[in-house]
Amino acid sequence: MPRKSKLDNLHQTHGKVEKSITLDQVWGDSGTAKFGTTDPEKYDKYLNDLNKSDLQAHAVKIGLVPVDDRKALILRLKKEFKKHVSIYSHVQKEQSEPKLSKSAKDILSEGR
């Protein structure tokens, strides 16, 4: 009969969160720093109010290579905006506090 190893009973975890989180999100960034807003209507209005050179400067600030065609540049900026907002959308959901037993609360309060 083969001898069963103690390692067979152990389980390994990967330590990853179900949804990907950026370092900015860990530090509390709500997603408004890069584009100034997470509201698509406000961002559309902002883009429509910019002239061509300001649009190109905004594209450079975002990290895009500006193109000469205004419509194509606005479409690329909107696409990048949607991608950016989708990263932050799941983080803004309200998280509930975990239920802790009295003994667990006592242990955690010792470190204060």
- pLDDT score of 25: 57
> How many domains are contained in the chain?
1
Q: Which residue has the higher pLDDT, 52 or 108?
A: 52
Please indicate, yes or no, if residue 30 is contained in any of the structural domains: yes
- pLDDT score of 33: 72
Please indicate, yes or no, if residue 16 is contained in any of the structural domains: no
Please indicate, yes or no, if residue 98 is contained in any of the structural domains: no
- pLDDT score of 92: 46
- pLDDT score of 107: 86
Residue 57 belongs to what domain range? 21-93
Asked whether 100 and 108 are in contact (CB, 8 A), the reply is yes
Asked whether 31 and 85 are in contact (CB, 8 A), the reply is yes
Please indicate, yes or no, if residue 87 is contained in any of the structural domains: yes
Asked whether 69 and 23 are in contact (CB, 8 A), the reply is no
CA distance 44 to 46: 5
- pLDDT score of 29: 62
Of 108, 107, 83, which is closest to residue 31 (Cα–Cα)? 83
pLDDT tens-place string over residues 3-58: 666 666 666 555 555 555 666 656 666 667 778 888 899 999 999 999 999 999 99
CA distance 28 to 112: 23
Please indicate, yes or no, if residue 112 is contained in any of the structural domains: no
